[in-house]
Amino acid sequence: MRLRRLLLPVGALACFALLGRYLAQRDPAQFEPVVECSEGHRYRSIWVPGGSLKALRWFNRRYQWCPVGRHWSWTRRVNADRLTAAEVEAASAVHDLRVA
């Protein structure tokens, strides 16, 4: 009985991690977009629609850890087409915590 209680959450986390990895390999720009925190720091983050293990979601924003400024803040996706190549490169150099 204890084993069943343990296997369900571990299995769900493993499925979520595998799904995220599969989707990121299909189209990395869609699932690892450039995001911007409320203080203007830009970095890449895993952004899977419908699920989040490391952030609180509120519509199109997330409250999560900003690795650039080392603080918690609201983040939002940024359209990479509107950024310069240097800005995208600087944002790609920093990635938040990886789940898997």
24 or 82, higher pLDDT: 82
Report the pLDDT averaged over residues 51-63.
Answer: 85
Closest by CA to 75, choosing from 90, 54, 93, 92, is: 54
Among 6-10, 64-68, 86-90, the range scoring the smallest mean pLDDT is 6-10
Work out the pLDDT band at 30, boundaries 50, 70, 90. confident
pTM: 0.69
| Strand, helix or coil for residue 74 | strand
User: Is the per-residue pLDDT at 100 higher than 50?
Assistant: no
pLDDT digits (tens, 9 = 90+) for 5-29: 888 888 888 887 787 777 667 766 6
Give CA separation, 96 vs 7, 11, 45, 67, in Å: 28, 24, 6, 6
